[in-house]
Chains A and B, each alone.
Chain A
Amino acid sequence: MKRLSRYRRHKAAAPLLLVIALLGIGTTFNVASATIKSATNTFDRSAAIEEGKQIFLKGCSSCHGLNAEGGAIAPSLIGVGAASVDFQVGTGRMPMADMSTQAVRKAPVYNAEQTAALAAYIATLAPGPMIPTEAQLNYERDGSTAEGGELFRNNCAMCHNFAGQGGALTQGKYAPTLMGVEAKYIYEALITGPQAMPVFSDKTITPAEKLSLIKWIKSAEAEPNLGGASMGRIGPVTEGLLAWVLGLGLLIAVAVWLTMKAR
């Protein structure tokens, strides 16, 4: 102790103490909250629902109402089901940051466990679409790529484009790209109809058909561009641009060189 007190007035003493204090507080907090986490990891359902309710009240009720009844700026969540929550919160669309046009996919605010809690809570409000299980999402085994393609072109291509690259809707809304979207989220979007997207109920597109759809989307995503670089897979607009810029541009450059006098 005496050895330490010799450095009491050292100029590094104050900053060092500050750092130790910060580390101490931070660690204590982490340990404390970790204890809470490990409690819900045993998936005590009622605790999850309670946690979900707390998260809801803190982060969602300002728009969606204290009882999720909705309001002027946000729809009611009664009956939307766990699947809606898993989709919207899991893809980061909710909480919505920019209220201008539509919910944009961004980095999720809540982690997987918090999302599950929120979903559990909303599911208690009224029956609604459920989160698909792993067994229900085995598109490799249960889907057919060719059938999925036909279904995609019949039901999805008009908004999401023939290759799932996304497309424009009215008034600045858009259907986002389907590339890089987890199978679970595709399935949930189909059954919940987020925002402008319509609902594709299981009676009209059966679960097996939905899996075929997902299988085709995944196959299109994995498929390399077979003829060369693709410029976005959006069709003649980018192709025409390239023809002018690279095609005619290169040829004019050669023509200029050709007619220049040699040095």
Chain B
Amino acid sequence: MTTAEKRVSAVANYVDERTGAAGWVKKSLNKVFPDHWSFMLGEVCMYSFIILLISGTFLTLWFDPSQREVIYNGVYEPLQGLKMSAAYASTLDISFEVRGGLLMRQIHHWSALIFMAAIVAHLLRVFFTGAFRKPREFNWILGIILVTLGLVEGLFGYSLPDDLLSGTGMRITSAIIQAIPLVGTYISFFLFGGEFPGVGFIPRIFTLHVLLIPGIFLAVITIHVMLVWYQKHTQFAGPGKTEKNVVGHPILPVYMAKAGGFFFIVFGVTAFLGAVASINPVWLFGPYTPGQISAGSQPDWYMGWLDGLVRMAPPWETHAFGHTISWNILIPALIVPGILFTGMALYPFIESWITGDKREHHLLDRPRNVPNRTALGVMSITFVLITLINGGNDILAVAFDLSINQIMWFSRISVFVLPPLAFVITKRLCLSLQRADRELVLHGKETGRLVRMPSGEFVEVHEPISEQKRFILTSHEQPTPLVLEDIDSRGVRRAGKFKNKLRVRLSKAHAVAIPKVTAQELKEIENH
């Protein structure tokens, strides 16, 4: 043994005698992770979280989370002598007096935007490939918790600097809370420490933003990643890959190098954005006071769809018995997102109810092979895109010479019309792609070369695809629709007649597919 090896083994011995870690470390280092670029989206989320922790901690060293009024006396001339909260003043100091302060502020904010974007992309990847199926339903729910927490954390984060834009967001938040029947005003007064804007809001959301929510995040992310670790990552179907194995690179050295390197890439790209792209120039917005507002006030993108929903909501309120219920706030800000997120969280169970599939799944679906699920996903994306666009309707109106009134009406109608349309189109597209796959397997790839036959006929030469590709295109499962007899073998009538009818119908729709090429058909083609 070399000296280095002797030293390392001495340390390892020391630790193992006290913890028994050798067995666990051995198992871990032998784990493999399959390689696909889309599997790295979750890593972008995780690394962004770490970047947020690091840059955020830097900021807390100078930020003063207080609504106490101060007179600005710093270097930025256009705000000299103005009254503002200590939170805003300390944000200005971080931006102008602390070297690297503005950079870190920008890295923190860009990282938050990328974090949420990566979460959405990761969620979509998991959804479209069916990675939420058994045994990963619980991990999916943890993921929905994480995306919800992310929304709230981001909201609190961009409210902390207390500039005109953040304060406007706080106003909206207080109005939503206030609109809750029975307890709304109490919750609002308690959270803000009195009437809006209160004196307690910024210090309290600071505690939530810096301590409580990151703590919950850490715990949930740890369970989320440990589950992936323990249950092993899913993989796409392919030669040599089955439901009972995982094929990939071992942790040491390749995966560690690639994944570790990717952390620095994510940090580097975020830092690059922080260096060259200005974000949230609080000094231009000015300190928050409730009597001011800027044209084109929007929240950060991941809240923009909620803003769009609120903008397009019909002006409904109920005024009865000396009380008011603001449907125009409750529906877009609480009820619709509540339904959406609950639906998302329950989806694995809904789909397994429809298909009756109770088996484990470790091989991923190609989206085209599950047309119903893919169409549902595209429908949801369409819905969110329309609301997001409406959230920026005044910016769009100025940029493209349009009328906000027209955009609003367009959004109100298309939010009902376009998603079902997107569903139908996507489903048809998936089926067409399945047909194209069939053609590829049976007849091979078109080469574009034309050959003239002795009979005078022109044919295009097709190149057969590789065996491996052929396997990938035909290894997916094609479920048959559920059959539920009304009366079972022992003469007992099945309960829940309407529920069962619905289930069977949904299952039939879910099973619509182009039959894949069988071994027989392939043989026939080869022989002729």
Q: Interface on A for B, CB 8 Å cutoff?
A: 145-146, 148-150, 153-154, 157-163, 165-168, 170-172, 174-175, 216, 219-220, 223, 225-231, 233-244, 246-248, 250-252, 254-256, 258-259
Contact with A along B277-301 (1 / 0, CB 8 A): 1111101111000011111111111
Using Cβ atoms and an 8 Å threshold, which residues of chain A touch B215? none
The reply on B90 being an interface residue by CB < 8 A is no
Check A243–B110 contact: CB distance below 8 A.
yes
Report the minimum CB–CB distance from B403 to chain A (whole Å). 4
Are A162 and B294 CB-contacts (below 8 A) given A172-B401, A255-B40? yes
Check A160–B295 contact: CB distance below 8 A.
yes
Cβ-defined partner of B395 (8 Å) among A172, A226, A234, A246: A234
Are A243 and B301 CB-contacts (below 8 A) given A146-B79, A168-B295, A235-B296? yes
Cβ-defined partner of A239 (8 Å) among B113, B269, B295, B406: B113
Report the minimum CB–CB distance from B279 to chain A (whole Å). 5
Report the minimum CB–CB distance from B369 to chain A (whole Å). 22
Cβ-defined partner of A247 (8 Å) among B77, B270, B395: B270
A sample of 29 cross-chain residue pairs with beta-carbon separation below 8 angstroms, ordered by A number, consists of A145-B80, A148-B78, A149-B78, A154-B292, A159-B295, A162-B165, A166-B398, A168-B394, A168-B404, A216-B78, A223-B78, A229-B276, A230-B278, A233-B281, A233-B284, A235-B296, A239-B277, A243-B114, A243-B273, A243-B301, A247-B270, A247-B273, A248-B117, A251-B118, A251-B265, A252-B121, A255-B37, A259-B39, A259-B40
CB-CB nearest in chain A for B106: A227
Using Cβ atoms and an 8 Å threshold, which residues of chain B touch A223? 78
Cβ-defined partner of B114 (8 Å) among A150, A168, A247: A247
Check B117–A247 contact: CB distance below 8 A.
yes
Using Cβ atoms and an 8 Å threshold, which residues of chain B touch A225? 278, 281
Check B102–A227 contact: CB distance below 8 A.
yes
Using Cβ atoms and an 8 Å threshold, which residues of chain B touch A159? 295
Q: Interface on B for A, CB 8 Å cutoff?
A: 35-41, 44, 77-82, 95, 102, 106, 110, 113-114, 117-118, 121, 164-165, 258, 261-262, 265-266, 269-270, 273-281, 283-286, 291-302, 304, 392-395, 397-398, 401-406
CB-CB nearest in chain B for A150: B82
Using Cβ atoms and an 8 Å threshold, which residues of chain A touch B102? 226-227
Check A258–B81 contact: CB distance below 8 A.
no
Are A229 and B277 CB-contacts (below 8 A) given A157-B293, A251-B44, A254-B265? yes
Q: Which of B80, B110, B262, B278 gathers most chain A CB within 10 Å?
A: B278
Using Cβ atoms and an 8 Å threshold, which residues of chain B touch A247? 110, 113-114, 117, 269-270, 273
**A153-B294, A168-B395, A254-B262 given; 7 more Cβ-contact pairs under 8 Å:** A149-B79, A170-B405, A226-B95, A228-B106, A237-B298, A247-B117, A251-B118
Using Cβ atoms and an 8 Å threshold, which residues of chain B touch A251? 44, 114, 118, 265-266, 269
Instruction: Give the distance in Å from the alpha carbon of A225 to the alpha carbon of B401 in the complex.
Output: 26
Report the minimum CB–CB distance from B273 to chain A (whole Å). 6
Report the minimum CB–CB distance from A157 to chain B (whole Å). 5
Report the minimum CB–CB distance from B433 to chain A (whole Å). 21
